[in-house]
Chain A
Amino acid sequence: MTTALFSVAGAVAVLASVLVVTSRRIVHAALWLVVALGAVAGCFGALHAEFVALVQILVYVGAIVVLVLFALMLTKAPMNPLPGLTTGRSPFAAVVAAVLALILGAGVVLAFGNEKVKPVTHGSATDVGTEIFKVWVLPFEVLSVLLLAALIGAIALSQRKLSERSDKLSSSEKED
C-alpha cells in the first residue's frame, strides 16, 4: 500500500521536476514546482512522516513558491514561452547530471540494495515536536538566530543605498 502510494507520488515528483527544469515558460515552471513539492510531501506521508509532509506543504507550497511568484512578478518575467531559457551548455549539463546520477545511483544500490523499511507510525506532530524540544533544542535555537540573520540580510540587500536613492530622485526631478 505504502509502496504503491510512494511510487505514484514519486513518479509525479520526477515528472514535475523535469518540467520545472525544462519548461519554456517561467511561471509554468514555478507552478510545476508546486506540483513537484506537493508530490514530495506525498512521499513523506507515505513514509509516515506526516508532520514533515505538512511542514513541507505549508512552508514550501505556501511560502516559498509564493515568494518565487512574487519575485517573478517583480522582475517582470514574461508569460509567453521563451526560446532561450536554457543556456548553450545544457547538453553538457545534462551529461554531467546523468553521470552524477549514475554514480550516486550505483553507490546507493550497492550500499542499501537489500534494506527494507518497516512502516511504523512515529511521525506525528507530537512525536517530532517532543523530540525537537527535548533533544534538538540547541540546534533549534541556533536555527532561529540563523533565520534572524537571513531576515536582516535580506533587508540589507534589498534596501537601496541613500546616495542611489537621491540620485534617482534628482534624475526624476530633472525629467520632470
Chain B
Amino acid sequence: MPLIVPLLLAVVLFCIGVYGVLARRNAITMLMSFELMLNAVNLNLVAFDAWRLDGLATGQTLAVFVITLAAAEIGLGLAIVLLLFRGHGHVDADSARDLVEVDAVQQEKGAAT
C-alpha cells in the first residue's frame, strides 16, 4: 500500500477539522472538530509507524497517548462549555464576546451604574 494514501487522508481530515473549528458556531461542534484533527494526527502516527517499523512501536504508542490526551481534553473542554452555558445561557462561541475592547466612555458608564 502506498504511504501517500493514509497521509492524504490525514490531510483531508485535518483540514475538515480546521474548517469545522473556524466555521462552526456551536462550541460543542468546535470540540468535535478538534477530535477530527486529533484523529488525523493519529492516522499519521500509525501510518508512519507501519512504514518505519522501528520495532519500538513508537507511532502506535504515541497514538494511544494522544487518544488519552484527547479524552482529557474533551473532559476539560466540555467543562468549559458547561461553564459558558451556565454564564450565558447558550454555548454560542460566536456571541461569547467578553474579551472585547470596551470604550473608555462605556467603561465609565458601567462603573457609574
| Given A3-B5, A93-B23, A150-B72: A122 touches B28 (CB 8 Å cut-off) | no
Q: A162 on the interface (CB 8 Å rule)?
A: no
B64 touches A18 (CB 8 A): no
In the complex, what residues of A have CB within 8 A of residue B75's CB? 67, 150-151, 154
Contact at A21–B20, with CB atoms within 8 Å? yes
Dominant secondary structure at the A interface:
helix
Whether A87 pairs with B11 at a CB distance below 8 angstroms is no
Q: A87-B24, A154-B75 are in contact. Are A56 and B67 (CB under 8 A)?
A: yes
The contact string, 1 if C-beta is below 8 Å from chain A, for chain B 27-56, is 011011101100100110011011101001
A30 to B6, CA, bound (A): 24
A98 is an interface residue with CB less than 8 A from chain B? yes
Size of the chain B interface, CB-CB below 8 angstroms: 69
Measured between beta carbons, the chain B residues less than 8 angstroms from A105 are: 8, 11
Measured CA separation A84–B24 after assembly (Å): 9
From B5, B51, B58, B64, contact of A6 by CB (8 A): B5
Q: How far is the CA of A140 from the CA of B32 in the complex (A)?
A: 25
Q: Which listed residue (A6, A98, A122) contacts B53, Cβ 8 A?
A: A122
| Chain A residues bordering chain B, tally (CB within 8 A) | 85
A95-139: contact bitstring with B at CB < 8 Å (1 yes, 0 no)? 011101100110011001101111110110001100110011001
**CB-based contact B61/A29 at 8 Å:** no
Question: A169 near B: Cβ within 8 Å?
Answer: no
Contact partner of A59 (CB less than 8 A), chosen from B56, B61, B67, B78, is B67
Which residue of chain B is the closest to A115 with respect to CB atoms? B3
CA distance in complex: A40, B7 (Å): 13
Q: Are B79 and A33 in contact (CB under 8 A)?
A: no
A112:B4 contact, CB within 8 angstroms: yes
CB pair B68 A143 closer than 8 Å: yes
| Proximity bits, B1-24, A CB within 8 Å = 1, else 0 | 111111111011111111110111
- A90 to B36 CA separation, bound complex (whole angstroms): 18
CB <8 Å contact, B53 and A20 = no
Q: Which residue of A lies closest to B68 (CB)?
A: A143
- Asked if B69 and A143 sit within 8 Å, CB to CB, the answer is yes
B96 near A: Cβ within 8 Å? no
- 10 A–B pairs (Cβ distance < 8 Å), ordered by A: A14-B12, A14-B16, A17-B13, A52-B67, A59-B67, A87-B23, A101-B11, A120-B50, A157-B79, A160-B86
Beyond contacts A21-B36, A87-B24: 12 other A-B pairs, Cβ-Cβ < 8 A, are A21-B29, A33-B35, A49-B60, A52-B63, A59-B70, A63-B71, A96-B22, A100-B18, A146-B69, A150-B72, A153-B76, A153-B79
